[in-house]
Copies of this chain bind each other. A is one copy, B any other.
Amino acid sequence: MSGFTRNQLIHGGDYNPEQWLDSPEILEQDIAFFKKAKINEVSLGIFSWAMLEPEEGKFDFGWMEDIVNRLYENGINVIMATPSGARPKWLADKYPEVLRVAPDRRRNLFGGRHNHCYSSPVYREKVGIINRKLAERFGSYPGVLGWHISNEIGGECHCDYCQDAFRGWLRERYGTIEELNRAWATTFWSHRYQSFEQIESPSPIGECDLHGLKLDWRRFVTDQTVDFVKVEVQALRDGGSALPITTNMMYFYGGLNYHKFAEVIDTASWDNYPLWHKQPEPETAAEVAVYYDIMRGICRKPFLLMESCPSSTNWQSVSKLKKPGMLLAASLQAVAHGSDSVQYFQMRQSRGANEKFHGAVIDHYGGEDTRVFREVTQVGEALEILSELTGSGVKAQAAVIYDWESRWAMEDAQGPRNKGLYYHEAVTKIHKGFRRIGLNVDMPDMEQDLEGYAVVAVPMGYMFRKGFGEKLKKYVEQGGYLILTYWSGIVDDTDLCFLGGTPHELMDVCGVRSAEIDGLYDWETNSGAAVPGNSLGMTGEYRCRNLCDLVQLRGAEEVLRYGSDFYAGQPALTAHSYGKGMAYYVCADFEEDFYNDLCRKVSEAAGVKSLWVNLPEGVELSTRQDEKAEYLFIQNFNPSAVEWDEVPEQWQQIYGEVSEKLPGFGTKVYKRAL
């Protein structure tokens, strides 16, 4: 269970009644509309600090209490936010230290959101006070489901407090300055430090070439942010609230290692804003699926879809309307991947400021006779039907490693392609390869366990974090099937290159050594052609781009060979048995078809069983399960219907049109007892 749910899937979202306090008729209307649309939750207080503490030390919680009560009387629960995401003007004016300092060391003026120093003692104190008071007031309310810490946490600060904290963090990590000098290779360009006091955070007007510094700074930013969240949570606990905690993470945001938040939150939640209809919808669905599987892995249990847009957003370069049916399909995709909620930003459109044209359940027109309102209501109806699967989990046989720290290091390092490494694409292609044969996929990082997975893929595992090489070796030894690609096992934890050959610790496992790596211009391609009679049963030829690894064979079998350039005929895909398992080494950035075939072949070789191995293009299959039952979601992300063979007998349809087709954007849900 997510901890937030009370035996029903949550349907709701961000609500800002403080913008309408002078229009009581609107607040009343809202509740009537919520009930009609089967809204059972709203998230309150996300940017309300100025209304809750209009002057320093003067609190006004009455208006919020009224609303929480009114909602509860109408069967609507509340997720209560802490207001630290934006601060009142008086706070910034009196204590400028709370404002963020940019990498060029210039302090921001008041404005925007995400504009506070998370090290500032004053900011921590002031957030602590209001959080504690909120907890005292609302922390045990029957309708309050839990806490929503701040909002879309992100960014960094370079003020003196942060510099000090960073130095302390480094001292703890490295012990001595000599060890830091070694780890960061500071002898290069005479950048050696004599003491921790000399260290400054990376800056475009200062140090920006020392990868170890930059990588550790990013780690510090995550840790300091987590530390700030701890302060927030402690204040809530001090205020007497024992309710569960979440914070809403962001689609595509790369600035924080979200895995580190698992220690301070009870449930992961996230805000999902894909660009539906920009490309064919199945492509978008496949990309979103990656994010769902990442987010589910943070706390390794059901999560919440904390925000999504009921209509079109307003911050993209072009904001398209969601076509009929898209909202429902997209909302149920969340549930299929393990979400216990469908929540929106926002319940009612604000009249002014920069999100006034962001889609909402209730728009400026203010009527219920809108397409959006009708489609939101359909979602509400679906969630009621599916309510029984609240809290059920997702089991995966395949894992694709997605690691923030390795990505930071890889994208910061200057290497064979500084213009497009396509890490995210590599991850997505392998993820899709497994999903195409109907497998659930987990996306652990390098720190998480690999036990229980039949197949593990490590696309572009550039940095082998401490113990990861060893973990993979053991995984294969004990019978695991490993897919490892080019540009893996190159550097250690602090971005120091491994000596003696790569992929580090896995040359014997994979039976190859990576000798050179070629960067290809955008207009260049090469290919890999199957070696006749290869043990994996690969046939045909696949195009590759961007990066081509030239490997020396050390025992591996050649499965594909390059088709052109001076390395034509050299291995492009290899297979090697090691211990009780197998290791496949992918040398180049191959096209999607390659990964589809590879994942299928390797899964077969690993003895993985899938419910459905011939999914029509654009159809997603996902399962959730608890002790009693398994639930099967079939979703068609094509705009038009596809043929669909009925599911095996033991499955009983519990949602969706009953027919031999899957309608465009249609979803069917089945159940079987366990």
Contact = CB atoms under 8 A, between A and B. Distances in A.
B521 A278 contact: yes
Interface in A13-50: 16, 18-19, 22, 47-50
> Looking at chain A, what size class is its interface with the partner chain?
35 or more
Interface of A: 16, 18-19, 22, 47-51, 54-55, 83, 86-90, 93, 102, 104-106, 108-113, 182-194, 198, 200, 203, 205-212, 278, 311-312, 314-321, 323-324, 349-357, 364-366, 370-372, 413-419, 494-502, 513, 515-522, 550, 565-566
A371 B566 CA distance: 12
Q: Which 5 A-B pairs have the closest CB atoms?
A: A185-B352, A109-B206, A111-B207, A317-B419, A188-B353
Contacts of A497: 349, 351-352, 356-357, 364
Given A318-B519, A351-B499, 14 more contacts: A48-B190, A89-B191, A89-B198, A109-B206, A111-B207, A212-B352, A314-B414, A321-B517, A321-B518, A321-B519, A323-B565, A323-B566, A354-B414, A366-B500
Given A86-B191, A352-B184, A200 B110 contact: yes
Contacts of A203: 109, 111
Given A50-B192, A414-B315, A566 B324 contact: yes
B418 A316 contact: yes
- How often does this chain occur in the complex, in copies? 3
Nearest to A106: B205
A575 to B, nearest CB: 23
A109 B205 contact: yes
A208 B111 contact: yes
A192 B354 contact: no
Contacts of A516: 311, 321, 370-372
Nearest to A21: B187
A108 B317 contact: no
Contact of A19 (B187, B413, B501): B187
Contacts of A550: 321
A83, A182, A521, A550, most chain B CB atoms within 10 A:
A521
A354 B184 CA distance: 11
B353 A185 contact: yes
Contacts of A185: 19, 350-353, 356
A317 B418 contact: yes
A551 to B, nearest CB: 12
A605 B189 CA distance: 54
Contacts of A54: 192, 194
